[in-house]
Structure 1
Amino acid sequence: MTQPTENPDRDVLASEYFDLIPFQPYPVQEEALLAYFTNEQGVLVCAPTGTGKTLIAEAAVYEALRTGKRMYYTTPLIALTDQKLVELRESAVRWGFSADQVGLVTGNRTANPDAPVLVVVAEILLNRLLNPESFDFSNVSSVVMDEFHYFNDPERGIVWELTLGLLPPHVRTMLLSATVGNALDFTSWLYRSHQRRLQLVSGSERKVPLQFEWIEDDILADFAEKIAAGDEVTRRTPALLFCFSRAQCWTTAELLKGKSLIDKARQAELADYLNAADMSEGAGPKLKAILMRGVGVHHAGVLPRYRRIVEELFQRKLLSFCVCTETLAAGINLPARSVVLPSLLKGPKDKKKLVDPSSAQQIFGRAGRPQFDDRGYVFSLAHEDDVKINRWREKYDSIPEDTKDPGLMKAKKQLKKKMPKRRSGESYWTVSQFEQLQQAAAANLSSRGRLPWRLLAYLLGENAEVQPIRDLVGRRLLPPNGIDEAQRDLNRMLITLWTAGYIELDPKPRAASPKPIKKSKDDAPEVKATEGLFGNLLDQMRGDDETQKANEEEDNQDPALIESRGYEVDDYRPTLATPTDRLERLVHLKSINPLFGVYLADQLAIADPQERIAALESVLEVPGSVARYVRMPSYDDMPPGTLATTRLDSQLLTMGLATAEELGAKGDDEEEEVRDRGFGRVMFDEPRVWPLTIGEKLLRLFREEFPRVQNVNVRPVWIVGELLEFGGDFNKYVTARKLQKEEGILFRHCLRMILLLDEMANVPPLESTVETWEDPLDDLADLLTESCRKIDPQSTDEILSDSKEPVDDLVGLGRRNA
């Protein structure tokens, strides 16, 4: 076994690594490797998907193992970390090191967490950088950030941004990204803002070039059968067939099930594998029947244990097609010869739009396997209506216009009468749009999203000085007006924490002047000026007088009063934000907005068990396509509980935030009930107000108290509640409710509920005790854990295992990693 050698010459390291590569590196790979070994601070590699960037990344892994240093390999997705763990362990063994020298920490799962090479989700690396007293980076040689274009993610991109700003100068950085439009500007910003100089290596050619084909004369089922025919050399499978909805994945897989897609030898091997697998529950029988025909289904609605089966069979080349959603294109390695797109449009039926170019190029890049293919194939199929029109036109044009043959003349006339047409209200796509997606310019990288509430609370808990946070905001990759707005947003956040009693600000916020100045859309409403020159002068004088009065009364004003009147955010510069005892509660909550989470905890102290479950379920995001089938029971089936009847309903009525009808009062002249086809709920011919659920009531009150806290929503569902009605038997529940095709979503919801229950147990309200607050939450979590283990023990244990991180997922976005 190879032993590490401390401080070997970097030229020697480079030479050794090149000798270990079993083939001639592609030009962009060779250039990137040389740049990494010669540049003191690292390299940014921008190249198309399928360029072999893993080979480049493994140079940093080899360096750490060879020198006895530590390195981090970060990815944006938990599923991708699992895959990288396997790949890097195989490489370590191939180089003569031990597999246990590569470990994993995702926040949900750990595997050999003390290994020198750690595969982590990006949030874990950020958390460790924020805890230098617990994690020493002096022995870290490098950090690889894979799929770095996630910097542009609206919600999680800030994780990469903050990490880059906190990395010690000695840590060599390797950023691996798909092609980006402003790579040179990005490296300039990185040096200007964070003094990190990276060498840019760009490539536009793939190791396996792509061949694009527009298919206008075949419907999907027939085309799939064509490209699956032939031997290993001539057929175009295995193929990834991308759909833009989970429901369409199942429909498409069913469509292909009756086709001849695999040979008898592979089908026999499939039968042996599947007969030995346990696929007897939920969607298992349906999926097994589809798999037997050489077709897999892979999306979030499929249970993780079934997705693992699909992945293994596809990697073993026993499946011709894997029907999947676009999330698979984010980096999960399912090597395919071809990519098939039955549609280029995504979205609801009446709001379909062309798929985003960056997503499309990620999808295209999944085609072509360097070890097997000399090219990758990307097929886009025309709409079925257009295929019928093209087939008709081919027949019609085959009969000459000047024919004198009576039979042909009659046939042409009959064909003209039967000419197919596009349907009214249907959405279509074209070959020019397919070409547009191929040629679209790469997206520019820029800072996305606001500073997370939980991270802000943590930073203030560590240091009450505001200036370091303001400096951080000022270094973001934004235009000047974007920086100004980000600074104003920081002021709004600080004042919100102050009005809620989480911090003390010095100096205190100043009441907003009623002067008719232009405000941003998030500020207090603009005061309308009086018409005319004299009116303007009068308004100005009035504004000056009121501003002076507000300044004099500032120290005596209640924060809530200033909040209701508005406050200055443009020029406000607090120096200190001193935490109160309440601030620490925010840091415990990562599954939901922490301000809303603490608010819920304080309200739910007097709730009955059903209200607690319903309120907590409503804050966990469930796709609308699933939520429509798992809605909250009606008031008749589940009357309002203790919290609603003794507190919330009266508050909502008194404050004018809800009508009596919204709280369940029935009108005197209700019309005949009719069934709403969208949600299956009872509706009426005349407009009728649907009663508010417990989650919706809490949200209305929260928004009244925190009007400037954005992006807090609820979606009333009754999943955990109904699962308990089935005695915790997950399979009975999904089968009885005919939700097998979405059981993966429901399973993940239950796991997220367990994590949320654990977090909420750490923020007990004043009105509670351990027996009345923590014990019931722990009991419910234990029951759900037992239910989940019965359906998928491996995934349950992986997700719920202790990560041993002192501050886990400070940005509060860990739920999106799955």
Structure 2
Amino acid sequence: MSLTEVLEHTPNEPDALYDAFVGWATGGGFSLYPHQDDALLAILSGANVIVTTPTGSGKSMIATAAHFATLAGRGRTYYTAPIKALVSEKFFALVETFGADLVGMVTGDASVNPDAPIIACTAEILANIALREGADADVDQVVMDEFHFIADPDRGWAWQVPLVELPQAQFVIMSATLGDTTRLQKTLTDTTGRDVTEISDAARPVPLTYRWSLDPIHETISTLVADQQAPVYVVHSTQAAAAEQAQSMLSLGAAKPSKERAEQIKEALAGFKFASGFGSTLQKLLRSGIAVHHAGMLPKYRRLVEQLAQQGLLQIICGTDTLGVGINVPIRTVLFSSLTKFDGRRSRQLRSREFHQIAGRAGRAGFDTIGYVVAQASEHDVENARIVAKHKDNEKKLRSVRRKKAPEGFVNYTEATFTKLIESEPEELFPRMRITHSMLLNLLERDGDAAAAVVRLVDSTVTDRRTRRTLLRRAAALGRSLLSAEIITRLPEPTPSGRRYQLDVDLQHDFALNQPLSALALAYMETMDEDEPDYALDVVSVIEATLEDPMTILVQQQFRERGEVVAELKADGVEYEERMEILDEITWPKPLAEKLEGAHEEYALKHPWLRESPVKPKAVVRDMYTAAMTFA
């Protein structure tokens, strides 16, 4: 019997709902763990619930119970996650549990059944609803998964906004690595007036063992596979390193499948179309039981890898730390190729939360009795360990032999670092806030005092006076830019609800500024002459100017351009110093740069948010077309 059918025969009373849900779970072969039972009782009592239990301890069952309880009261419940892939995965799981009519999905790219009583969405979607509608929003319950993202400098605001702006909602907050939740509990109580129950005493269903490896990484992986500790997920700091490692393991034949498994893989891949280039490479890897998995892959490839992993057909998966975001890739062993990462600004050691979030994915409940976490020593430490082992009986030789040094800029980590991470507790989460034009425009759609809402949001996040002042000054500056652009006007008198400004433009219901340059691109293309011979290529260049710069490609284009120029300058007898001055001004091709920058400046007068999103002229696709290149 489906949960929807159970609801049809269950009165909306806590005791009846409790018995019905436990009965449904038991009928499906699941006995609730004590912490799941406690969470169900807390949800049915109307309390906010914070679930900070280990990975694999059944948080999904708690989320299902939450949706069940809200549906029983004819309410509307939202499930939020940080990435679209996880939202999509959860959407299909919820459809299977509650039926397609009751479940919808909304992301920045797709909208399916958006009026359904259960909505799976990205955190930003719900945050924008909270900003626009506040206490009037049709949101009775919010299940926030991977809640540790609230500390993300760029995206944390999307987790904080609903906590402050949805006082009518019950919150179920989940993460394996929350740390001290005292501050979070206070925010929830202050906003909603509900009691808060923390569920944090769950035992991990599949215990973990930890090991430090001083073998070369390919030997470490081969040993894990040989010792029946596969599937192995090898965590790399970059996507390129993950792909390179997968290719290396393919060359070594480290995961060569049996005839039976090879046939199963062949059947699983039947009918799937792989493009040339990376697709062809991935196909070869998969046929050998090896995969690559990271956010830079096309969704269809990433989903295929996850499906094969769920079927137990993969032995080695080389990926990045996207594993820690709750993606359902069942694995037995997590192998850290390094205990450092580049965070966008600098290379550093992994933090406690990052380590535990990834390590916790090892061991599959219902499949494994133990999970394995292995940390790989750095290459120079591996080499030095080999030297020590080779000369361990010759102390004189050992003293004189030259040890391998760490490469320049290397962020050091040792077995002691590994031990410290294992024993550490996740750091306390501190929420982040960003003030943007999009936030202000969404708040201004609400019939209330937008300025007071901004102050409330800032005060819920920061205690430091300087940071508070900076955020409020930014809000004031952005507000003035909206006034200057005549997007908003000040009312002569505040409305009874406290509204002081009104929008002078009509915004669509789901307005957002995820791609602020798109409107500029469309407006500019309307001014272009379709009869011009380069019209189609110029359209491509306009679109390319709205996208992020792929610096690896652009640097190579710049290198090529400079090479051509320096050859000409040498042929013309230009002196070295003058050549260097000229070369400093040579960059990658930027078609329409002057025109697009002029249009951007003009368009920004009426659309001030564009000032924070400059155009980025480039010619990647255009260059490929004119040179008759392919993606292979």
1:591 is matched with: 514
Confirm or deny that 1:277 pairs with 2:272: yes
- 1:277 Cα deviation after fit: 3.3
Higher mean displacement: 287-296 or 347-356: 347-356
* Alpha-carbon separation, structure 2, partners of 1:506 and 1:444: 43
1:310 is matched with: 305
Give SS of 2:427's match: coil
* Alpha-carbon separation, structure 1, partners of 2:212 and 2:462: 39
* Alpha-carbon separation, structure 2, partners of 1:115 and 1:605: 38
- 1:395 Cα deviation after fit: 2.3
Which of 29, 41, 44 is the equivalent residue of 1:37? 44
* Alpha-carbon separation, structure 2, partners of 1:281 and 1:341: 30
Code of the aligned partner of 1:295? I
Alignment of 1:608-623 (within 5 A): 609=535, 613-623=540-550
1:229 is matched with: 226
The answer to whether the 8 A contact 1:632-1:718 is kept is no
* Alpha-carbon separation, structure 1, partners of 2:253 and 2:100: 43
Give SS of 2:363's match: coil
* Alpha-carbon separation, structure 2, partners of 1:326 and 1:46: 20
Q: CA distance change for structure 1 residues 156 and 5 in 2, over 3 Å: closer, same or farther?
A: farther
Alignment of 1:463-502 (within 5 A): 463=447, 465-481=449-465, 482-502=467-487
1:81 is matched with: 87
Q: CA distance change for structure 1 residues 329 and 52 in 2, over 3 Å: closer, same or farther?
A: same
2:54 is matched with: 48
- 1:33 Cα deviation after fit: 2.4
Confirm or deny that 1:721 pairs with 2:622: yes
Give SS of 1:717's match: coil
- 1:314 Cα deviation after fit: 1.0
The answer to whether the 8 A contact 1:242-1:340 is kept is yes
1:405 is matched with: none
Confirm or deny that 1:247 pairs with 2:144: no
The answer to whether the 8 A contact 1:215-1:379 is kept is yes
- 1:319 Cα deviation after fit: 0.6
The answer to whether the 8 A contact 1:151-1:445 is kept is yes
Code of the aligned partner of 2:181? A
Give SS of 1:312's match: helix
- 1:350 Cα deviation after fit: 12
Give SS of 1:180's match: coil
* Alpha-carbon separation, structure 1, partners of 2:316 and 2:369: 20
Give SS of 2:391's match: helix
* Alpha-carbon separation, structure 1, partners of 2:340 and 2:526: 47
Confirm or deny that 1:155 pairs with 2:141: no
Higher mean displacement: 344-353 or 1-10: 344-353
- 1:476 Cα deviation after fit: 2.2
Q: CA distance change for structure 1 residues 696 and 8 in 2, over 3 Å: closer, same or farther?
A: same
- 1:467 Cα deviation after fit: 3.9
Q: CA distance change for structure 1 residues 461 and 607 in 2, over 3 Å: closer, same or farther?
A: farther
Code of the aligned partner of 1:214? W
Q: CA distance change for structure 1 residues 589 and 575 in 2, over 3 Å: closer, same or farther?
A: closer
1:116 is matched with: 117
Give SS of 1:397's match: coil
Which of 423, 432, 443 is the equivalent residue of 1:448? 432
| CA displacement, residues 201-251 of structure 1 (integer Å, 9 cap, x when unaligned) | 2247422222221112x1111111111114xxxx11111111111110111
2:350 is matched with: 355
Q: TM-score, normalised by structure 2?
A: 0.82
The answer to whether the 8 A contact 1:262-1:319 is kept is no
2:613 is matched with: 712
Q: CA distance change for structure 1 residues 131 and 390 in 2, over 3 Å: closer, same or farther?
A: closer
2:568 is matched with: none
The answer to whether the 8 A contact 2:76-2:117 is kept is yes
2:255 is matched with: 261
Give SS of 1:451's match: coil
* Alpha-carbon separation, structure 2, partners of 1:436 and 1:485: 36
* Alpha-carbon separation, structure 1, partners of 2:609 and 2:344: 33
User: Could you list the runs of 5+ residues in structure 1 that have no partner in the other structure?
Assistant: 93-97, 402-411, 508-573, 638-667, 675-682, 736-818
1:576 is matched with: 500
The answer to whether the 8 A contact 1:504-1:578 is kept is yes
Which of 168, 171, 174 is the equivalent residue of 1:176? 174
* Alpha-carbon separation, structure 2, partners of 1:669 and 1:460: 63
Greater RCO (CA < 8 Å, at least 6 residues apart):
1
- 1:160 Cα deviation after fit: 2.4
The answer to whether the 8 A contact 1:102-1:115 is kept is yes
* Alpha-carbon separation, structure 2, partners of 1:213 and 1:117: 42
Higher mean displacement: 703-712 or 243-252: 703-712
- 1:253 Cα deviation after fit: 0.4
Give SS of 2:210's match: strand
Alignment of 1:789-804 (within 5 A): none
The answer to whether the 8 A contact 2:177-2:357 is kept is no
* Alpha-carbon separation, structure 1, partners of 2:470 and 2:201: 35
1:166 is matched with: 165
The answer to whether the 8 A contact 1:35-1:199 is kept is yes
- 1:317 Cα deviation after fit: 0.8
- 1:254 Cα deviation after fit: 1.1
Code of the aligned partner of 1:254? Q
- 1:475 Cα deviation after fit: 4.3
Q: CA distance change for structure 1 residues 13 and 141 in 2, over 3 Å: closer, same or farther?
A: farther
* Alpha-carbon separation, structure 1, partners of 2:256 and 2:577: 52
The answer to whether the 8 A contact 2:151-2:430 is kept is yes
Q: CA distance change for structure 1 residues 204 and 4 in 2, over 3 Å: closer, same or farther?
A: closer
Q: CA distance change for structure 1 residues 696 and 468 in 2, over 3 Å: closer, same or farther?
A: farther
2:15 is matched with: 11
Q: CA distance change for structure 1 residues 434 and 136 in 2, over 3 Å: closer, same or farther?
A: closer
| CA displacement, residues 10-68 of structure 1 (integer Å, 9 cap, x when unaligned) | 12212222232434433433332222222x24211122333321121111133345555
The answer to whether the 8 A contact 1:615-1:695 is kept is no
Q: CA distance change for structure 1 residues 449 and 353 in 2, over 3 Å: closer, same or farther?
A: same
* Alpha-carbon separation, structure 2, partners of 1:588 and 1:723: 35
- 1:374 Cα deviation after fit: 2.1
Code of the aligned partner of 2:64? E
Q: CA distance change for structure 1 residues 213 and 284 in 2, over 3 Å: closer, same or farther?
A: same
CA RMSD in angstroms, aligned pairs only: 4.0
| CA displacement, residues 580-614 of structure 1 (integer Å, 9 cap, x when unaligned) | 45x8599966233x4x6667777776567555543
1:438 is matched with: 422
Confirm or deny that 1:624 pairs with 2:619: no
Q: CA distance change for structure 1 residues 193 and 13 in 2, over 3 Å: closer, same or farther?
A: closer
Percent identity, aligned pairs only, is 29
- 1:275 Cα deviation after fit: 5.4
- 1:129 Cα deviation after fit: 4.7
| CA displacement, residues 402-426 of structure 1 (integer Å, 9 cap, x when unaligned) | xxxxxxxxxx74x766544225526
Q: CA distance change for structure 1 residues 351 and 166 in 2, over 3 Å: closer, same or farther?
A: closer
- 1:431 Cα deviation after fit: 1.3
- 1:578 Cα deviation after fit: 4.1
The answer to whether the 8 A contact 1:585-1:598 is kept is no
Larger Rg: 1
1:422 is matched with: 405
| CA displacement, residues 660-689 of structure 1 (integer Å, 9 cap, x when unaligned) | xxxxxxxx9955699xxxxxxxx8477622
| CA displacement, residues 334-353 of structure 1 (integer Å, 9 cap, x when unaligned) | 01111001112223999532
* Alpha-carbon separation, structure 2, partners of 1:602 and 1:270: 49
Give SS of 1:591's match: coil
| CA displacement, residues 296-330 of structure 1 (integer Å, 9 cap, x when unaligned) | 01123332222222111111111111111112321
Code of the aligned partner of 1:718? A
Confirm or deny that 1:187 pairs with 2:88: no
- 1:372 Cα deviation after fit: 1.4
User: Could you list the runs of 5+ residues in structure 2 that have no partner in the other structure?
Assistant: 493-497, 530-534, 565-571
Q: CA distance change for structure 1 residues 711 and 195 in 2, over 3 Å: closer, same or farther?
A: farther
* Alpha-carbon separation, structure 2, partners of 1:237 and 1:61: 35
Code of the aligned partner of 1:304? P
* Alpha-carbon separation, structure 1, partners of 2:211 and 2:419: 10
Give SS of 1:734's match: coil
Give SS of 2:218's match: helix
Code of the aligned partner of 1:333? N
